[in-house]
C-alpha cells in the first residue's frame, strides 16, 4: 500500500500540480484507509471492503462532508491505479457518494464590511498592515492562502491588478480597487519598504505572514464587529462574490475572479441572491 500511495502522491505533485496543502489532505485520507485495511494487499480490496470502510467512518461520527472528501480521495486513488495498470478493475466505481446538504455561504452586509475594514487602528504600521489585508481580501475576493503568497512585485499599482497563484498553482490576474491599493501603499511606506521585491505582508519579525497568522488577525477584528459565531475569514470572499452579483456582475466574470474551475462552484452565490429576492417578495407583495 505504501508504494502505491507514494506513486499516487508523486502523480498529484508532478502531473496534477496540486498545492502542498491539497496533497497533504489526500495523504491523510489514504493513511486512514491504509490503517483500516491493515496488511491486506491492494489487489484484494473490493466493493464490500470499501462499504465497510464507509460504515466505520459513520460509526466514528465523521460528518457527511468529511466522508464525501475521503471517498473522493479514494476515487482518484483507485482511478489512478486502474489507469496505470496496477489494478485490473476499479473496486470503487459502483459506490455512491453520500448526498450533501447545500449550505448557503454566510456573508456580511456592505455596512458590516466597511465597519470591519475600518476597525484596525492605523496609527502604527501593524494597524496599516491589517487595514491593507482586509481591504485586499474584500477588493479582490482572493483566498487567505493566496494572500499569503503575494509579493510586492505581484502588485501592478498603475494597472490596478494583482498576480495571484491559486489552487493547483494556477496563475491569474485579479483587479484590485483604488482603496485597497492606497492602503497597501500606506503600509509599505510606513514599514519603509525600499526594495520592490519580497513578501507583501510581514509579521513583527520581518518574515512573511503565515495563513494561520492572517486568519488570527482577521478573526480578531471580526469579533469586534459581529457576534455571529459562524463568520470566518472566508466570509470576506463570500461577501465579495455576493455583493458583485447583487450589483449586476455576471456569473462567468465572478467565476474568473474567484478562480473557480467549475461554474457550479460559483452558482451557490446565485442561491443567496435568489433567497433574498424571495424574502423581499414575501415581505412586500400584498398577496404573497
Q: Which of 103, 101, 104 is nearest to 273 (CA)?
A: 104
Residues with catalytic annotation? 143, 167, 234, 237, 260, 269
Sign of CA dihedral 149, 134, 247, 231: positive
Q: What is the C-alpha to C-alpha distance for residues 244 and 132, in angstroms, rounded to an integer?
A: 20
Q: Please, which residues bridge with residue 175 across strands?
A: 161
Determine the average pLDDT of the residues in 204-225: 88
Q: At 102, is the pLDDT very low, low, confident or very high (cuts 50, 70, 90)? A: low
Alpha-helical runs (H) found in the chain:
2-14, 20-37, 47-59, 64-83, 110-117, 125-140, 144-148, 178-190, 211-225, 235-246, 251-258, 263-266, 268-284
* Top mean-pLDDT range of 65-79, 83-97, 217-231: 65-79
Compute the distance between CA of residue 205 and CA of residue 219 in angstroms, rounded to an integer. Answer: 21
pLDDT given at position 168: 66
Starting at the earlier edge strand, list the strands of the sheet with 171-175.
Answer: 155-156, 161-165, 171-175
Q: Look at residue 70 and tell me whether its pLDDT is greater than 60.
A: yes
pLDDT > 90: percent of the chain: 41
User: What pLDDT was estimated at residue 228?
Assistant: 59
DSSP 151: B
Query: Rounded distance, CA 53 to CA 49, Å?
Result: 6
Domain ranges of the chain: 2-83, 110-281
Residue 133, Cβ density class (10 Å: 0-12 exposed, 13-18 middle, ≥19 buried): buried
The winner for highest mean pLDDT among 66-75, 84-93, 176-185, 205-214 is 176-185
Report the alpha-carbon distance of residue 113 to residue 15 in Å, rounded: 40
**pLDDT tens, position by position, 6-54:** 999 999 988 888 878 888 999 999 999 999 988 888 888 988 889 899 8
Q: Does residue 126 register a pLDDT over 80? A: yes
Domains 2-83 and 110-281 share a fold: no
Q: Which CATH number fits domain 110-281: 1.10.443.10, 1.10.15.40, 3.40.50.880, 3.30.70.1560?
A: 1.10.443.10
d(CA 176, CA 173): 10
Q: What is d(CA 56, CA 61) in angstroms, rounded to the nearest whole number?
A: 9
pLDDT digits (tens, 9 = 90+) for 219-255: 888 887 765 556 777 888 888 988 888 888 888 888 8
3 vs 78, 90, 104, CA distance in Å? Answer: 14, 18, 40
Fold of 2-83: DNA polymerase; domain 1 (1.10.150)
Whether 22 and 167 have beta carbons less than 8 Å apart is answered as yes
**pTM of the predicted model, to two decimals?**
0.68
Res 226: pLDDT? 65
Strand bridging mode 155-156 / 161-165: antiparallel
CA-based torsion, 79, 85, 90, 91: positive or negative: negative
Residue 158's pLDDT band (cuts 50, 70, 90): very high
Amino acid at each position: 500500500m505504501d508504494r502505491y500511495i507514494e506513486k499516487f502522491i508523486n502523480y498529484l505533485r508532478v502531473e496534477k500540480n496540486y498545492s502542498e496543502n491539497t496533497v497533504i489532505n489526500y495523504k491523510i485520507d489514504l493513511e486512514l484507509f491504509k490503517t483500516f485495511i491493515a496488511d491486506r494487499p491492494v489487489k484484494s480490496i473490493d466493493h464490500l471492503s470499501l462499504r465497510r470502510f464507509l460504515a466505520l467512518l459513520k460509526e466514528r461520527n465523521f460528518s457527511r462532508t468529511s466522508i464525501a472528501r475521503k471517498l473522493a480521495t479514494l476515487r482518484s486513488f483507485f482511478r489512478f491505479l486502474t489507469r496505470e495498470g496496477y489494478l485490473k478493475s476499479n473496486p470503487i466505481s459502483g459506490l455512491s457518494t453520500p448526498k450533501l446538504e447545500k449550505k448557503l455561504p454566510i456573508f456580511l452586509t456592505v455596512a458590516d464590511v466597511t465597519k470591519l475594514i475600518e476597525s484596525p487602528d492605523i496609527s502604527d504600521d501593524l494597524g496599516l498592515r491589517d487595514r491593507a489585508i482586509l481591504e485586499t481580501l474584500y477588493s479582490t475576493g482572493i483566498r487567505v492562502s493566496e494572500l499569503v503568497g503575494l509579493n510586492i512585485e505581484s502588485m501592478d499599482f498603475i494597472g490596478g491588478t494583482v498576480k495571484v497563484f491559486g489552487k493547483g498553482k494556477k496563475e491569474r490576474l485579479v483587479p484590485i480597487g483604488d482603496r485597497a491599493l492606497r492602503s497597501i501603499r500606506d503600509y509599505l511606506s510606513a514599514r519603509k519598504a525600499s526594495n520592490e521585491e519580497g513578501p507583501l505582508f510581514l509579521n513583527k519579525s520581518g518574515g512573511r505572514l503565515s495563513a494561520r497568522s492572517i486568519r488570527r488577525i482577521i478573526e480578531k477584528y471580526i469579533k469586534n464587529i459581529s457576534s455571529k459565531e459562524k463568520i470566518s475569514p472566508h466570509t470576506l470572499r463570500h461577501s465579495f462574490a455576493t455583493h458583485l452579483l447583487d450589483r449586476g456582475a455576471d456569473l462567468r466574470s465572478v467565476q474568473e475572479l474567484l478562480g473557480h474551475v467549475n461554474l457550479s462552484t460559483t452558482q451557490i452565490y446565485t442561491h443567496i441572491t435568489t433567497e433574498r429576492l424571495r424574502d423581499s417578495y414575501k415581505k412586500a407583495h400584498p398577496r404573497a
